[in-house]
Amino acid sequence: MPTSTTCSGGSPPRAARSRPHRIGHAFGCFSPRSLAELDGMQAVDITDKLKTYKSAWETSLRSLAGENLDRFIAASADWKERTQPERVAALDAAGTRALARALLTDLTAYTDGDATTARRLAVLRKKTEVAEAASYRMEVRLGVVLRMRAILTAVAGRVYLATRGMPEERAAYEALVRCENLDLGPGEGPLPLVTAAVAEPFPPYEDDVRLAAKVLPAWMGIRFKQAEAETREHHHLEAGAAAVEAVYPDSPAEAAGVQVGDVILGPPGAPFKENQQIREWTMLSKIGEPAPLLVLRGDRQLRVTLAPKPYPLQWTTMAGPPKIDAPAPAVTLTAYRGNVPSKLADGSAHLLFFWATYCGPCKASLPEVLAFERERHTQVIAVTDELREQLDTFFKKFDRPFPETVAMDEYRKAFLAYGVSGTPTFVLLDGAGKVRSYATGYTPEKGLGVAGWSWTKPAPAGG
């Protein structure tokens, strides 16, 4: 509601001019006297940073907490039995709450007995809580900035009306004030006594800016997954061994020479023992300080030196799809079945069919994919990043026609090289190994996205 003021001359009331100061004091901000000063406040940038950092720390905390819970249950035959899905599902609401209370009590005692894990959890929890609290305060300050902007704009308007406004402008403003001036009246009976709680002022804005720097995680620049059980068993690796699926451009990992397909074991003498422990280690590393890591590349162990960078708000993007008529990226695929060519520029055309066992549109496209292979005499290579065991399970149950040639891309090198962002993706290569068409997604109307090709599903027999 606008604060009324005399428009015939003078300046805005003292209360209007002091309001930004009172707001600034309450929320730990400076008291701006102009919109330019207000625009210099980087609340949006700091808020985005703190939200990103909080999410990253929370992910690491959840990962370690999950590993700790798994160890606790594995170590207790009683809790292993009590947490069986069928037993939990049979409980009513009261029974579920009682089970949760008992579990937390025993889990707390178990964790307190493991000083190393308890300390790690405390560090990650503290980082998460600090980032979350500072992020909340910064979000509140965004609202404060908007409120201050409204106040300063109103003050500027009143000054203009008082010093340079035309009579008709003043009259229009006074009419607006009268229109918006809602008087509720005294009401009936005495008003209830309400005691307002006095909130403590926010810490200074500059303190939260410094907090953002303190909770800044370090960054390696890879996408990873737990190394497969077969790899870990063959090389006698810990559960925390991390298989590199992607290395981001201009990242510390790229500078250190880490490659897709490498398995990162951990620092010398301190291998990662838990799944995703590499994330926690990286985030807590000192930014810019080189640290050694052991890497398994094929059957050889290598030592690389990695200097983490600050965690980015936006990660660098991976390479996009290859251009039409450009040479196809050279990749090495592992045959699951059929004849996978050693190189794609072998004088024959190929249709790369990037798919997944769980992908409904991939399965819907199969009749047209097989028709294309048959009518165009073009080998279809069905490329998936799933493992042999998953494919074995799938093909034991899948009873419809499927391309004969199936290739595995365990470390997603082909998916990344061809910029595959979703399945199915169809890439047509000519005999010289050049890209002739590229399409993602499938509907019967859209088809395979190959120029000059169209296909109509045959009518059912007897239809």
| Residues 302-353 pLDDT 10s | 999 999 999 987 666 666 789 999 999 999 899 999 999 999 999 999 999 9
Q: Are residues 265 and 339 in the same domain?
A: no
Domain end (from 310, 342, 377): 310
Q: Which residues are CB-neighbours of 392 under 8 A, at least 6 positions away?
A: none
Identify the H or E element spanning 171.
helix 167-180
Residue 350 near residue 414 (C-beta atoms within 8 A): no
Q: What is the value of pTM for the model shown?
A: 0.67
Q: Are residues 64 and 142 in the same domain?
A: yes
Residue 37: pLDDT over 90: no
Identify each DSSP E strand in 44-166 by its residue range: none
pLDDT score of 5: 38
Residue 156 lies in a domain: yes
Residue 252 near residue 221 (C-beta atoms within 8 A): yes
Residue 404: pLDDT over 80: yes
- Give the integer Cα–Cα distance in Å for 356 and 92: 39
Q: Which residues are CB-neighbours of 260 under 8 A, at least 6 positions away?
A: 244, 245, 246, 247, 411, 412, 413, 416
Identify which has the larger pLDDT, 83 or 9.
83
Query: Residue 71, SS3?
Result: helix
**What digits encode the pLDDT tens for the residues 377-393?**
999 999 999 989 999 99
- Give the integer Cα–Cα distance in Å for 288 and 56: 19
Q: Are residues 74 and 162 in the same domain?
A: yes
How sure is the predictor about 8, in pLDDT bands with cuts at 50, 70 and 90? very low
Structural domain that includes position 277: 218-310
pLDDT score of 7: 40
pLDDT score of 297: 93
- Give the integer Cα–Cα distance in Å for 403 and 395: 12
Identify which has the larger pLDDT, 203 or 362.
362
Residue 18 lies in a domain: yes
Residue 185 lies in a domain: no
Q: How far apart are the first and last CA of the chain?
A: 72
- Give the integer Cα–Cα distance in Å for 424 and 355: 5
* DSSP conformation class of 384: E
**What digits encode the pLDDT tens for the residues 154-169?**
888 888 888 898 989 9
pLDDT, average across residues 103-121: 97
Q: Are residues 376 and 434 in the same domain?
A: yes
Q: Are residues 299 and 352 in the same domain?
A: no
Residue 237 lies in a domain: yes
Residue 61 lies in a domain: yes
Residue 326 lies in a domain: no
Q: Are residues 243 and 298 in the same domain?
A: yes
Residue 325 lies in a domain: no
Percent of the chain with pLDDT over 70: 87
Q: Are residues 236 and 156 in the same domain?
A: no
How sure is the predictor about 178, in pLDDT bands with cuts at 50, 70 and 90? confident
How sure is the predictor about 207, in pLDDT bands with cuts at 50, 70 and 90? confident
Residue 412 lies in a domain: yes
Tally of domains within the chain: 3
- For residue 34, how far is the Cα from the chain centroid? 37
Angle of helix 14-26 relative to helix 115-163, nearest 10 degrees, comes to 170
pLDDT, average across residues 59-86: 96
Dihedral through CA 283, CA 289, CA 290, CA 294, nearest 10? -30
Q: Are residues 161 and 18 in the same domain?
A: yes
Please choose, from the candidates 408, 404, 336, the residue with its C-alpha nearest in 3D space to the C-alpha of residue 370: 404
Please choose, from the candidates 288, 120, 138, the residue with its C-alpha nearest in 3D space to the C-alpha of residue 216: 288
Q: Are residues 20 and 114 in the same domain?
A: yes
pLDDT, the chain, mean:
88
Residue 367, domain CATH: 3.40.30.10
pLDDT score of 10: 42
Q: Are residues 90 and 168 in the same domain?
A: yes
Residue 246, domain CATH: 2.30.42.10
Domain end (from 144, 159, 177): 177
Residue 189: pLDDT over 80: no
Domain end (from 177, 196, 231): 177
Q: Are residues 283 and 397 in the same domain?
A: no
- Measure the CA angle with vertex 119, ends 117 and 125; round to 5°: 100
Q: Are residues 353 and 292 in the same domain?
A: no
- Give the integer Cα–Cα distance in Å for 342 and 424: 23
* DSSP conformation class of 379: E
Name the token pair of 2.
């606008």
